[in-house]
């Protein structure tokens, strides 16, 4: 598959006689690229196909190459009204405005004859789009690109203090900031990233996770530094990554769903220290109750249970135990535990834990074999022929992608390396953003039903906004 | 069990003594009554004047009205009463030891973890300092490949996961991190092994080369040495002191600061609670008033942040009661890293300037802290320190009262 793709590439590039330099020389040659969205249709994934490598990432060799200065690119409202001085981004808009002044106006018609296609290069010398072969076809596109990659980040999100150079990017982010949920393996959902990270570090679910991580950690470390997911200029990226994560999300969510008692794992261990003040027990009983009764298993347990009005009878039951006055109260008193309620939960969680392990263990094995996978239509196309030097091949890929900021499909990098490390994908959700920057920005693009269809994987959206306790 | 049934004196505001009354959260603490502080202050004065009959009378009244399960006034009355009683009967040390032992026995990794994580969820009291310190540390150590953070705190390493994540994502070259934790609270010591294991696992998950060490055998911080800490020449050192300096005996604070200086750190982050129990330590009434002021704020904050019947809040309140007894009813010379005599930011700044110069928090860090505060309930704010270009740190304020001070220093 790969060889076929590469052959097609060469065929295309060799016919670009307009651009003598073969792309390998100047910028980083993308040997394996996926078809990108045409500039001008950001955020929408129109067609995601591995087989047909399309030359659209390369500028039309017949097109006229325009190099605008940074000043021009950053300038907005270049078209000024002579009467009132109001500025407009486009000539058309100015013309319409002129009507209001009773000035003669004329809207330019699109000429019927072939318009000479224009492509624009980025003025920044170090940028890959500086090269004419990688020019962008749309004026708005090059403006946004320049601003995003090389511009000052003037717009800042209030909630999370993330910075953007392009106002529309900032607006898009602000809409979704704080609405994103993070899910821990134990089942708890968080709307705050920092709470999620801190929780994760101490969560008991981490213990199982690291068993898997350790198994492939050597390969992981090798690839860790060489993957560059710097995609801020690429609207395609987020969608790509979404696919990959969604392939694997079911696995991790299955883990969680089978481990219904997973949350209680944590609580059970706490309950083991039953000699603590009664409040502990009451809290746990209440939480477990709310878990089983409301079914909102994956809500933020503590917040949900704490914010609900606790059954008052519990408390009155126990407060009297402490009824003696301060001066005679030396300390906490003992309370009988409620073992039966919890032991059943415990058994359940212990039972189901092995089941979840085997699912991922299966995947790991599949990945190591390489050719086989649980999703042949998708993973198969990526199968590297040489399994023996898996790592080598992987790094070859990365070398090719290098640090190209407009690299294609970072998700494919994830995939290839991910074949080796299912565990990293399990952690995609909260994986460091450098490696999955796409996840940060995937809020900018809708996760459409199209993606699911293509993958043939019926993915349940993990994040159910409704069950989240928002202000946490 | 209802205390008002046994009232047969002129009692102020007996309606507040019902223990099963759920707090009208608006009125419970902030409201106009404040009977507790009046009685408590009177009692403190009586003790300092050694007015026996008045002491007895007030202690008895307070005992009738107080309860650790009531509203704010009742709770404050309860815990401060205990301290006053210990002071009057000279039994502070014994009482403190008993309470500490009980608390230690009932703590475990899970209960400690639950407690601190819950607290951090509902209140920025601790996370404020974490975010500010992490920001300063990351900026000061940017570009270094071998980091050594010396963490003198009792925060059970809850500060570090977000820093690890930042290390993993910010740079293309993830640096190595060695974390040496110095613990002084006996309660914390017992759980550090488990904490360490979690941190190691998490660092592996993040892909950050990580080494973890705990130093808990010290009697006090002054015993630290460069070798003991494992500081190597090729490392970039950051020292993180969260609630650490106040645990040093007042007279030894300056020398401890010099000790820190001798470790040649790139940055020292200091986070302390904003209260002065130190300059008034020989004036019981003044110290008492300041203690009452600070803990009233703290209890009110706890009440508004947690659910009414939260067990975590109860644990935190009990911890306060131990600290109150420690400050008010125990003698100075008891070492062991349990001093608890807080000082204000200005006072700490004065000490730190002997060995270090202040580093202001960058705009980015300030923005991060502000964004953090937004994620909590209303009432919290960030205030920059006055004068000299805000270099002496930032304050967390609650209802416009400064409660926590965070700062960064360099040699």
What domains can be seen in chain B, in order of their start residue? 35-106+278-329 (no CATH), 124-274+342-410 (3.40.50.150)
Taking an 8 Å cut-off on Cβ atoms, the answer to whether A332 and B106 are in contact is yes
pLDDT at A50: 40
- The crossing angle, in degrees rounded to 10, of helices A278-294 and B311-329 is 160
Residue A167: C-alpha distances to residues A235, B25, B185 (Å): 16, 42, 49
- The crossing angle, in degrees rounded to 10, of helices B192-206 and A205-224 is 40
Question: What average pLDDT does the segment A320-348 reach?
Answer: 40
A71 vs B393 pLDDT, higher one: B393
Structure pTM? 0.58
Angstrom distance (rounded) from CA A300 to CA B315: 21
Taking an 8 Å cut-off on Cβ atoms, the answer to whether B106 and A303 are in contact is no
Question: How many CA atoms, within 13 angstroms, populate the side-chain half-sphere of residue A147?
Answer: 21
- And the tokens for B256? 């401890």
What is the phi/psi pair of residue B238, to 5°?
-125, 135
Asked if the C-beta of A276 comes within 8 angstroms of chain B's C-beta atoms, the answer is: yes
Asked if the C-beta of A469 comes within 8 angstroms of chain B's C-beta atoms, the answer is: no
pLDDT at A26: 41
Angstrom distance (rounded) from CA B195 to CA B159: 12
pLDDT tens by residue, A255-289: 443 343 333 333 334 333 433 444 444 444 444 44
Q: A280 to chain B nearest CA, in Å?
A: 6
Tell me which range, A146-160, A454-468, B302-316, is most confidently predicted by mean pLDDT: B302-316
- The crossing angle, in degrees rounded to 10, of helices B72-89 and B52-65 is 150
Which of A359, A405, A422, A12 has the alpha carbon at shortest distance from A230?
Answer: A405
Q: Above 80 in pLDDT, residue A76?
A: no
For residue B199, which residues of chain A lie inside 8 Å, CB to CB?
201
Question: What average pLDDT does the segment B113-128 reach?
Answer: 94
Mutate to test the interface with B, among A432, A438, A470 (most CBs of B within 10 A): A432
Q: If you average pLDDT over every residue of chain A, what do you get? A: 55
Angstrom distance (rounded) from CA B128 to CA B269: 12
For residue A215, which residues of chain B lie inside 8 Å, CB to CB?
none
A48 vs A157 pLDDT, higher one: A157
pLDDT at B120: 95
Surface of A (388-447) touching B: CB under 8 A: 427, 432-435
Tell me which range, A275-279, A283-287, A340-344, B327-331, is most confidently predicted by mean pLDDT: B327-331
- And the tokens for A6? 């590469």
Asked if the C-beta of A326 comes within 8 angstroms of chain B's C-beta atoms, the answer is: yes
Instruction: Give percent above pLDDT 70 in chain A.
Output: 30
DSSP per position, B352-407: HTTT-EEEPPPHHHHHHHHHHHHTS-TTEEEEEPSSGGGTT-EEEEETTEEEEEEE
The CA angle A213-A215-A221, to the nearest 5 degrees, is: 65
Q: Above 60 in pLDDT, residue A244?
A: no
Taking a C-beta distance cutoff of 8 angstroms, is the pair A160, A179 a contact? no
Q: What is the interface size between A and B, counted as CB pairs within 8 Å?
A: 156
For residue A159, which residues of chain B lie inside 8 Å, CB to CB?
371, 374-375
- The 3-state DSSP composition of chain B as helix, strand, coil percent (nearest 5) reads 50, 15, 35
Q: Above 50 in pLDDT, residue B25?
A: no
Angstrom distance (rounded) from CA A358 to CA A366: 12
Q: A449 to chain B nearest CA, in Å?
A: 30
Q: Above 90 in pLDDT, residue B54?
A: yes
Residue B20: closest C-alpha in chain A: A316
Taking an 8 Å cut-off on Cβ atoms, the answer to whether A192 and B199 are in contact is no
**Least confident segment among A153-167, B10-24, B290-304, B370-384:** B10-24
Q: Above 90 in pLDDT, residue B373?
A: yes
Asked if the C-beta of B75 comes within 8 angstroms of chain A's C-beta atoms, the answer is: no
Residues paired with residue A13 on neighbouring β-strands, in sequence order:
none
As to burial, measured by CB atoms within 10 angstroms (0-12 exposed, 13-18 middle, 19+ buried), residue B345 is buried
Q: Taken in order A248, A249, A250, A255, is the CA torsion positive or negative? A: positive
pLDDT at A213: 57
Angstrom distance (rounded) from CA B98 to CA B317: 16
- pLDDT confidence bin for A431, thresholds 50/70/90: very low
For chain A, report the end-to-end CA distance as a whole number of angstroms: 48
pLDDT tens by residue, B285-316: 999 999 999 999 999 999 999 998 899 999 99
**Residues contacting A251, CB < 8 A, separation 6+:** A359, A360, A363, A422, A426
**Least confident segment among A88-92, A459-463, B303-307, B358-362:** A459-463
Asked if the C-beta of A155 comes within 8 angstroms of chain B's C-beta atoms, the answer is: no
For residue B157, which residues of chain A lie inside 8 Å, CB to CB?
201
Tell me which range, A286-300, A370-384, B221-235, is most confidently predicted by mean pLDDT: B221-235
Q: A305 to chain B nearest CA, in Å?
A: 9
Of A197, A303, A306, the CB nearest to B162: A197
Angstrom distance (rounded) from CA B257 to CA B343: 14
Taking an 8 Å cut-off on Cβ atoms, the answer to whether B117 and A214 are in contact is no
A148 vs B401 pLDDT, higher one: B401
Residue B69: closest C-alpha in chain A: A319
For residue B113, which residues of chain A lie inside 8 Å, CB to CB?
202
Tokens 């705050």, residue located: A192
- The 3-state DSSP composition of chain A as helix, strand, coil percent (nearest 5) reads 55, 5, 45
Tell me which range, A373-382, B297-306, B335-344, B382-391, is most confidently predicted by mean pLDDT: B297-306
Mutate to test the interface with B, among A153, A193, A202 (most CBs of B within 10 A): A202
Which of B222, B215, B214, B217 has the alpha carbon at shortest distance from B253?
Answer: B222
pLDDT at B239: 96
pLDDT at B107: 85
Taking an 8 Å cut-off on Cβ atoms, the answer to whether A192 and B375 are in contact is yes
Taking a C-beta distance cutoff of 8 angstroms, is the pair B313, B125 a contact? no
Asked if the C-beta of B69 comes within 8 angstroms of chain A's C-beta atoms, the answer is: yes
Angstrom distance (rounded) from CA B242 to CA B184: 12
Which of A310, A301, A307 has the alpha carbon at shortest distance from A279?
Answer: A310
**Residues contacting B296, CB < 8 A, separation 6+:** B29, B37, B72, B76
Q: If you average pLDDT over every residue of chain B, what do you get? A: 87
**Least confident segment among A191-195, B192-196, B235-239:** A191-195
- pLDDT confidence bin for A421, thresholds 50/70/90: very low
């Amino acid at each position: 598959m790969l060889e076929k793709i590469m052959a097609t590439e060469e065929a295309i590039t060799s016919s670009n006689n307009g651009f003598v330099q073969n792309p390998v020389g100047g910028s980083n040659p993308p040997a394996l690229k996926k078809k990108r969205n045409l500039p001008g249709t950001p955020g929408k994934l129109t067609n995601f196909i591995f087989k047909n490598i399309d030359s659209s990432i390369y500028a039309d060799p017949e097109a006229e190459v325009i190099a605008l200065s940074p000043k021009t690119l950053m300038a907005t409202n270049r078209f000024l009204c002579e009467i009132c001085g109001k500025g407009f981004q486009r000539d058309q808009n100015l013309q319409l405005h002129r009507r209001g002044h009773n000035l003669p106006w004329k809207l330019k018609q699109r000429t019927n004859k072939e318009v000479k296609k224009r492509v624009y290069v980025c003025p920044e010398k170090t940028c890959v789009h500086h090269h004419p072969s990688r020019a962008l076809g749309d004026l708005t596109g090059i403006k946004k690109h320049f601003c995003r990659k090389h511009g000052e980040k003037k717009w800042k999100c209030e909630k999370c203090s993330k910075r953007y150079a392009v106002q529309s990017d900032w607006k898009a982010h602000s809409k979704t900031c704080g609405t994103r949920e993070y899910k821990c393996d134990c089942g708890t959902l968080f709307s705050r990233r920092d709470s999620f990270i801190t929780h994760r570090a101490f969560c008991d679910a981490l213990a199982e996770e690291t068993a898997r991580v350790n198994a492939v950690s050597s390969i992981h470390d090798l690839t860790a530094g060489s993957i560059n997911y710097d995609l801020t200029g690429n609207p395609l990226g987020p969608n790509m990554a979404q696919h990959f994560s969604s392939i694997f999300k079911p696995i991790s969510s299955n883990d969680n769903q089978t481990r219904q008692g997973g949350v209680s794992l944590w609580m059970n261990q706490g309950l083991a220290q039953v000699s603590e003040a009664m409040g502990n027990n009451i809290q746990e009983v209440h939480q477990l109750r709310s878990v089983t009764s409301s079914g909102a298993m994956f809500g933020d347990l503590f917040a949900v249970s704490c914010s609900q009005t606790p059954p008052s009878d519990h408390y009155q039951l126990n407060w009297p135990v402490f009824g003696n006055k301060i001066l005679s109260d030396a300390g906490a008193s003992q309370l009988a535990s409620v073992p039966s309620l919890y032991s059943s939960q415990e058994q359940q969680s212990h039972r189901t834990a092995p089941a979840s392990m085997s699912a991922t263990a299966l995947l790991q094995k599949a990945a190591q074999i390489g050719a086989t996978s649980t999703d042949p239509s998708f993973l198969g196309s990526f199968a590297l022929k040489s399994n023996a030097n898996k790592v080598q091949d992987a790094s070859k890929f990365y070398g090719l992608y290098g640090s190209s900021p407009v690299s294609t499909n970072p998700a494919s990098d994830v995939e290839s390396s991910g074949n080796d490390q299912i565990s990293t994908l399990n952690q995609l959700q909260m994986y460091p953003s450098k490696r999955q920057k796409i996840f940060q920005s995937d809020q900018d693009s809708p996760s459409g039903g199209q993606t699911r269809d293509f993958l043939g994987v019926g993915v349940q959206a993990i994040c159910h906004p409704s069950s989240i306790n928002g202000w946490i | 069990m209802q205390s008002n049934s046994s009232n047969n004196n002129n009692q102020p505001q007996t309606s507040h003594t019902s223990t099963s009354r759920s707090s009208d959260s608006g009125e419970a603490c902030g409201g106009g009554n404040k009977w507790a502080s009046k009685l408590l202050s009177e009692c403190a004065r009586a003790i300092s004047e050694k007015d026996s009959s008045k002491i007895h009378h007030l202690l008895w009244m307070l005992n009738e009205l107080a309860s650790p399960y009531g509203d704010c006034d009742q709770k404050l009355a309860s815990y401060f009463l205990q301290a006053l009683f210990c002071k009057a009967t000279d039994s502070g040390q014994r009482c403190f030891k008993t309470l500490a032992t009980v608390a230690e026995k009932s703590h475990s990794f899970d209960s400690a973890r639950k407690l601190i994580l819950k607290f951090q969820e509902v209140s920025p009291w601790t996370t404020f300092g974490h975010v500010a310190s992490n920001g300063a540390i990351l900026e000061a150590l940017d570009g270094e490949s071998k980091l050594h953070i010396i963490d003198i705190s009792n925060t059970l390493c809850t500060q570090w996961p977000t820093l690890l994540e930042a290390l993993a994502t910010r740079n293309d070259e993830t640096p190595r991190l060695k974390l040496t934790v110095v613990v002084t609270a006996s309660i914390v010591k017992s759980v550090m092994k488990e904490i360490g294991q979690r941190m190691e696992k998490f660092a592996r998950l993040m892909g950050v080369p990580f080494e973890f060490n705990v130093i808990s055998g010290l009697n006090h911080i002054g015993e630290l040495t460069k070798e003991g800490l494992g500081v190597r020449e090729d490392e970039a050192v950051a020292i993180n002191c969260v609630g650490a300096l106040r645990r040093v005996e007042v007279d030894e604070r300056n020398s401890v600061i010099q000790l820190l200086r001798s470790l040649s750190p790139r940055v020292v982050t200091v986070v302390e609670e904003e209260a002065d129990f130190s300059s008034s330590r020989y004036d019981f009434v003044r110290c008492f008033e300041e203690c009452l002021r600070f803990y009233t704020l703290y209890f009110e904050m706890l009440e508004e942040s947690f659910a009414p019947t939260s067990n975590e809040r109860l644990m935190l309140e009990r911890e306060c009661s131990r600290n109150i007894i420690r400050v008010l009813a125990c003698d100075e010379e008891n070492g062991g890293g349990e001093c608890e005599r807080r000082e204000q930011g200005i006072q700490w700044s004065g000490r730190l300037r002997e060995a270090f110069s202040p580093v202001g928090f960058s705009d980015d860090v300030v923005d991060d802290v502000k964004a953090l505060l937004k994620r909590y309930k209303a009432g919290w704010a960030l205030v920059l320190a006055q004068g000299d270009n805000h270099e002496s740190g930032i304050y967390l304020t609650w209802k416009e009262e400064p409660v926590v001070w965070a700062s960064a220093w360099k040699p």
